[in-house]
Amino acid sequence: MFQTHWHLWLQQTFDAGWVLTLMQFISLLGYEMAYTALILLCAFGARLRAGLCVMLAVLLMACATHAIKQSAALPRPSDVDARVLDKGVPSHPFVVDGGGRTFWSLPDAQAIAMLRAQPDADYGFNSGHVGVATAACVGLLLAFGIRRRWLRWALAFGWPLLMALSRMYLGRHFLADVLAGWLVGIGVAVLAWQLMPGLHANRRWQTPLLLGMGLALAWTSLLTHLVPTGEAARLLALSLLVTWLQWRGWPANPQGIAQRVLGVLGVVAVYLLARPIIDALAHRVPLPDGAASVLLWQTLGTLLILGGGVVLARWIPCAVPGPARPSRT
């Protein structure tokens, strides 16, 4: 599964400018900004609890991907084969032809050793793009209780498959990388669905376990390189918010188009204002440079965005009356 003939076939068979542009566009949708927009739209334009479940799945997958990458420390296709293009341009591999010789063999040992010797190595296994795409899509499927068969298939297989093809076409991941990302993404989405209280069940252990996980990953990010500090901070903020909402009560979900639009626009405004507010606070309260300071300000910034959105969600239904229907949280 670490062979490069898959990539050579894709790049040579579909050697057209529009295909490269399409693959780059699909890959672009796998970065943070796209998922931020998806989460804010789901949480504050539809159902808060379900949207936060999708956010939980995405953050857990980001942490899992980083931990797996750092632990496996394996190269990308463009690192081991000079024939494989890297995002449409010639690559700069460590060895000329070092892909796996059989379906189950690893890439060339010399290429692996040379990559691990780099100060800022960019590891390939597993695919974060495919993993996060799968976690987000399956999280949507579970959290919103989607029942239409074609949409279930599209979320569980369709979009992850397109993302996998784009990452392989661009020479960024082996077949093993995208398969691992897909499988781990499904598992992480199910875990997030089980942890989010009130979606399919409301058990006493869910909130303390979620909060404990957020604290543990935040602490781990300070002690090791296995957990990224930014994702750990956002996960900690999410767990704190869910704990607070479980205690104080969840706001009603928007019922009309006006409420949904105002909710999304309001949280987007808070999102745009959060950065300068946190920068001003950091300037007034100077702290030593380090992971702990990054963790603190990232956590506060995420709480400011999500908490501001929740405050607006409580106020908007009163300001803009919607149809009298029972809300689902």
Q: Based on the number of CB atoms within 10 Å of its own CB, is 268 exposed (0-12), middle (13-18) or buried (19 or more)?
A: middle
pLDDT at residue 192 is higher than 90 = yes
pLDDT at residue 202 is higher than 90 = no
pLDDT at residue 327 is higher than 50 = no
Residue 184 · residue 131 · CB < 8 Å: yes
Q: How far is CA 302 from the centre of its chain?
A: 15
pLDDT for the residue numbered 114: 93
Neighbours of 112 (CB within 10 A): 21
pLDDT at residue 317 is higher than 70 = no
| Residue whose tokens read 């992480």 | 188
For the entire predicted model, the pTM comes to 0.92
Alpha helices in 249-290 (DSSP H): 257-284
Residue 123 · residue 70 · CB < 8 Å: yes
- CA 193 – CA 186 distance, rounded (Å): 11
Q: Which of 139-148, 265-274, 280-289 has the lowest mean pLDDT?
A: 280-289
pLDDT digits (tens, 9 = 90+) for 63-111: 999 999 999 999 999 999 999 999 989 988 999 988 888 888 999 999 9
Retrieve residue 168's tokens: 């392989």
pLDDT for the residue numbered 320: 59
Q: For 215, list phi and psi in degrees, rounded to 5.
A: -65, -40
Q: Which of 245-259, 280-294, 298-312 has the lowest mean pLDDT?
A: 280-294
What pLDDT band is residue 203 in, cutting at 50, 70 and 90?
A: confident
Taking only Cα atoms into account, the Rg of the chain, rounded to an integer number of angstroms, comes to 21
Q: Rounded mean pLDDT of 13-33?
A: 93
pLDDT for the residue numbered 50: 95
Q: Rounded mean pLDDT of 114-122?
A: 91
Mean pLDDT value across the chain: 91
Q: Which of 139, 243, 245 is nearest to 192 (CA)?
A: 139
pLDDT at residue 208 is higher than 90 = yes
Q: Rounded mean pLDDT of 266-275?
A: 90
| Residue whose tokens read 């189950």 | 104
* CB proximity list for 285: less than 8 A, separation 6 or greater: none
pLDDT at residue 191 is higher than 90 = yes
